[in-house]
Structure 1
Amino acid sequence: MRIMLGEAQQEAVLGAMLWVAQAHGAGAVTPADRHTIGAAAEVVFVRPVPDFAALRPVDAPALAAAVSGADAQEALRLLTVAALVDGSIDAAKIDRVVACATATGQGGAEYVRDLAEAAHGHLQQALGCMIRANMASITGKPWTGGLTGDVAAFLMPYRGAGADPALAARFTALATLPPDSFGHHFFRHFRDNGYGFPGEPDGLNVAFSVPHDSTHVLAGYDTTPEGEVLTSTFTAAMHPKNSMAAHVLPVIVSWHLGIKLNDQARSSTGALKPGAFFEAWQRGAQTRLDLFAPGWDFFAVAAENIDALRARYGIPPRTQPLDS
């Protein structure tokens, strides 16, 4: 998520984040707003935290004059975080994000439409769109099923007659691999968290669980709400298939705003930590292999040393504290 912009363009993007934060007036800017803008400066632009007394708000037309194309796409992601970091669906802030999206030619983005729907009385419709985008990204094809029973059936296919003991046995056998292997770390991730393996009645679908939990293990993010936000953010950049609508917006809604997407999903509040969030996006973007790609074979690399595998996949080390 490191945007290669000149200093004046960087100032415009940071100023636009401030403009979003000021939707209810200059005096309404919160410590979380300032922290988010500062983290964007430090992590994304690799520059010092701005002097907020000198930073000037930049409205939608002024932002459009400064950035366009791919740079505008990245800027809008920063503005989205700025709009949601205080932990609520704030129509005034979101309206300013939408104005910036429209001015920079990004108004047709699916996640921008979802934000606008959520802000103006159509939350359930927006959540439905997020679920469809997420399922399409996971399955690799448009999701035509329902949003409750069909999603549940996909995510939990091993109940009752669907149990697959042979598949489950392949995962429990990972316990015999060397302790420094990727597969052994994967086994411990499941056992330490009390998760069922794919194939077991309480296990999640192998098509989702293996790439998602492999991302947890290889990226080094735990299963706390903060870790779930970072894992999905890493995934969004590693697997850029409608990334904001399919991964980033749903995980912020679930783990930062406390809104459950479905009966299988958990939720929490306050889990978005801007510094770690921006770093997770960068780390995912730099990773050379997409764990959600159809051709990736988990069992083919399970016996490899986990640090060697991280190096081969180009996964950068973490530098930001998880609560930054």
Structure 2
Amino acid sequence: MRINLDADQQDAALGAMLWVSQAKGAAAVTPADRHTIAAAAEVVFGRPPGGTLPGPVDPAGLAARLPGPAAAEAMRLITVVALVDGSIDAARIDRLVACAQATGLGGADYVRDLAEAAHGHLHAALGCMIRANMESVTGRPWSGNVTSDVATYLLPYNDKPDPALAARFHALEHLPPESFGNHFFHHFRDNGYAFPGEPNGLSAVFCVPHDSCHVLAGYDTTPPGEILVSTFTAAMHPKNSMAAHVLPVIVSWHLGIKLNDVAASATGALKPGAFFEAWERGAGMNTDLFATGWDFFAVVSETIDALRARYAIVPRRFPLDA
């Protein structure tokens, strides 16, 4: 996620984050806000930790100092700080929308979804997030119901088990312990998950790349780990990444709002340092595991370390709670 901006442009992005966090006054800025801005400065911009941070920058100042594609990257940072307090706060979201409009991004899906959620249309906004996620995962338009049809899609083996497919996954147990496939098998076994093909198993189209990201990136299945793996995915698979991956996972695992009957939820799981690092690690990958051509079974025999190196997955520096 490292953005190639000069020092003044970096200050504009960080200052806009502060301006959004001051929506209810300077005294209302929380330690979580300050930690998020400091983490963005360190992880995204590569600044030394503990440095002096800029003062607030309003939308006009942001647009004047940060034009073009870089504004879209800055809006991602602004979105995180707008939600880090753990709520959909209308005052903060209104300031986020003002920044988006000033930089020509007012029509972005995630901006629209947040504006709707903040002003009495949460259900409609959640439906848009779910639809964007399904379209990103499946690679095609999603016209089905965002509750019942999504559940049916994600749990296809309850009505039509596929024992032959399940057997392929169970066979991974017999690969060498250092292999990617053996790690994948134990990820499922240790978490008590049903394999694709078994009743209660998730669709292989979704869970194989998703859980491969868990295994390869080293993110567990706790709420913080789920936020990080979806953030990693958003940068690796940039198909409407904010609306389809980042926003839904923050809503689900940080704000505690369930998206559907299949997904769980929690509160307070967004950890800014690890979050920004997950985005950077995903953006550095050279292989998209959600791409149509990626073949899971073709790489299961490779050692996990060799596969991480081949896919350019750098080691984690931040703990999950940083």
Instruction: Name the TM-score, length of structure 2 as normaliser.
Output: 0.99
Residue-by-residue CA offset, 1:141-198 (whole Å, 9 max, x unaligned): 01000011110110000013x0000000000000000000000000000000000000
Aligned with residue 182 of structure 2, among 174, 180, 184: 184
Task: Report the counterpart of residue 34 of structure 2 in structure 1.
Answer: 34
**Alpha-carbon distance, 1:108 to partner:** 1.1
Q: What amino acid does structure 2 have at the position aligned with 1:243?
A: S
Unaligned runs of at least 5 residues, structure 2: none
What residue in structure 1 maps to residue 8 of structure 2?
8
Could you tell me which amino acid in structure 1 is paired with residue 222 of structure 2? Answer: T
Q: Give the drift of 1:50.
A: 4.0
Pairing 1:159–2:178 present: no
Q: Shift of residue 322 of structure 1?
A: 1.1
Matches within 5 A, 1:270-289: 270-289=268-287
Please, what is the CA RMSD of the aligned residues? 0.7
Q: Which runs of 4+ in 1 moved over 2 A?
A: 48-52
- Taking structure 1 as the reference length, the TM-score comes to 0.98
Structure 2 match to 1:78: 77
Is 1:265 matched with 2:266? no
Partner of 1:268: helix, strand, or coil? coil
Distance in 2, matches of 1:69 and 1:94, equals 22
Structure 2 letter corresponding to 1:31: P
1:210-233 per-position Cα deviation (integer Å, ceiling 9, x unaligned)? 000000000000000000000000
Whichever residue aligns with residue 52 of structure 2, its letter is: D
Q: Does 1:18 align with 2:18?
A: yes
User: Is residue 307 of structure 1 aligned with residue 297 of structure 2?
Assistant: no
Q: How far apart are residue 56 of structure 1 and its match?
A: 1.3
What CA distance in whole angstroms lies between the structure 2 residues aligned with 1:248 and 1:165? 34
Q: Distance in 2 between matches of 1:217 and 1:68?
A: 38
- In the alignment, what sits opposite 1:143? 142
Q: CA deviation at 1:3?
A: 1.0
Give distance in 2, aligned partners of 1:230 and 1:182.
20
**What is the number of equivalent residue pairs in this alignment?**
321
> 1:202 Cα deviation (Å)?
1.1
Counterpart of 1:308 in structure 2: which amino acid? A
1:156-305 equivalences under 5 Å are 156-160=155-159, 162-305=160-303
Partner AA of 1:51 in structure 2: T
Q: Tell me, which stretches of 5 or more residues in structure 1 are unaligned?
A: none
**Structure 2 Cα separation of the partners of residues 284 and 318 of structure 1:** 11
Measure how far apart 1:252 and its partner are.
Answer: 0.0
Secondary structure at the aligned position of 1:291 is classed as: coil
Partner Cα distance (1:62, 1:199) in 2? 54
